[in-house]
Amino acid sequence: MVVVIWLYLLAARGGFWCAAERDDNMPLPDLAVRPSSEESSWPAVTAIVPARDEAQSVGETVASLLGQRYAGQLQVVVVDDQSRDGTALIAREAAASLDQADRLMVLSGTALPSGWTGKLWAQHQGVAFVDQLPHPPPYLLFTDADIAYGPNALAALVARAQANGLVLASLMVKLHCKSVAERLFIPAFIFFFQMLYPFAWANDPHRSTAAAAGGCMLVRRDVLRDAGGMAAICGALIDDCALAKLLKARGPIWIGLTERVRSIRSYPAMADIRAMVARSAYAQLRYSPLALAGAILAMALTYLAPVALAFFAGGFAQFLGIFTWLLMALAFRPILRFYGLSSLWGLALPAIAAIYMAFTLDSAYQHARGRGGMWKGRAQANVSELP
């Protein structure tokens, strides 16, 4: 059974493990990488940055956005979600230091209403502001306040969206991967995400699979408006995939890995990774105890059974266990290479999966305590994932 599972995953799960869906497989047009007087050739974009207590990173995010080598108009809207650490001031100082203060707007976010998650409420306020502009832009760039953009990142994303008529183009930003905890868990996080949402399937308009990465999402503003805006997914903790599902019903979407955009946020200890995973893992299972039990059983069979066979079985069963363990290590190799790590980390995938199982159980426990969706001191257990 375990061999069959991994043969299926390798051969029939959209090639998720190959990490082949990437933004660097499309060359940049010349116009995108240098200023031009032909601004009308490139659509206007407004970046919306929800920020709650992001003083440590928002300055770098704002500076990297305002420093884009993009031939069209680009404005940045930071929605200060009731921060307590001077987030708004640092965002303004970053823009002023580049003499780009006129291209930044900082909005003071209002109190979170019932039924909304914090991030979506902040984004909703940003969208409402943009919609009221005399000449609202064709595209919105939803990005987090801990993301740094390479100078050509936006041009590449817009070029792809324009060339393929995309209603949503998203980049799975390269996460911080320096500490021991990050090396142990971050590549696996991306690996599991791609297994759950194979990027090739998400990018196929004929398949129902829809996925996006919330750190970087370029969206057609008119399509979002016609789909009901952020209000249509207001209670979604896994907001990026909820948005992808909403928009894929109205046009093609695309998601891929990138080297051009990276996360500034670090996870120095296992507890930091646990908090990240526990925030939404149970929401992914739709808060169902039955689904939780099924997920734990499936992960144990997929990742732990081969190791048990390798150590405790004999004869042909032991051979199958070792063979399957090597298969999963092979499948893990491309994403390890993407993060510059040795392929030997692949042998640790069963142990890593076991710890992720514990994180998932902790997510259910936190939800039961009324602390589900905890982020920056604000629990969002009162919201529920959309169907």
Q: Which residues lie closer than 8 Å to 220 by C-beta, 6 or more apart?
A: 138, 139, 161, 166, 167, 168, 247, 251
- Domain map of the chain by residue range? 2-10+280-368, 18-268
pLDDT at 248: 98
- The span from the CA of 141 to the CA of 218, in Å, is 4
Residue written as token pair 């868990």: 185
Dump pLDDT digits (tens) for 187-208.
999 999 999 999 999 999 999 9
Confidence band (pLDDT; 50, 70, 90) for 27?
low
Average pLDDT, the chain: 92
pLDDT at 372: 65
Confidence band (pLDDT; 50, 70, 90) for 174?
very high
Q: At what angle are helices 349-368 and 289-299 packed, to 10 degrees?
A: 170
CATH number, domain 18-268, options 3.30.2020.30, 3.40.1180.10, 3.40.50.720, 3.90.550.10: 3.90.550.10
Query: Across residues 283-302, what is the average pLDDT?
Result: 94
Dump pLDDT digits (tens) for 69-122.
999 999 999 999 999 999 999 999 999 999 999 999 999 999 999 999 999 999
Contact 5, 301 (CB under 8 A): yes
pLDDT at 299 > cutoff 70 = yes
Question: Which region, left, alpha or beta, applies to residue 75 given φ > 0 means left and ψ of -120 to 50 means alpha?
Answer: beta
pLDDT at 368: 86
Dump pLDDT digits (tens) for 207-253.
999 999 999 999 999 999 999 999 999 989 899 999 999 999 999 99
What are the backbone dihedrals phi and psi of residue 263, each rounded to the nearest 5 degrees, phi first?
-90, 135
- The span from the CA of 63 to the CA of 93, in Å, is 10
Dump pLDDT digits (tens) for 306-328.
999 999 999 999 999 999 999 99
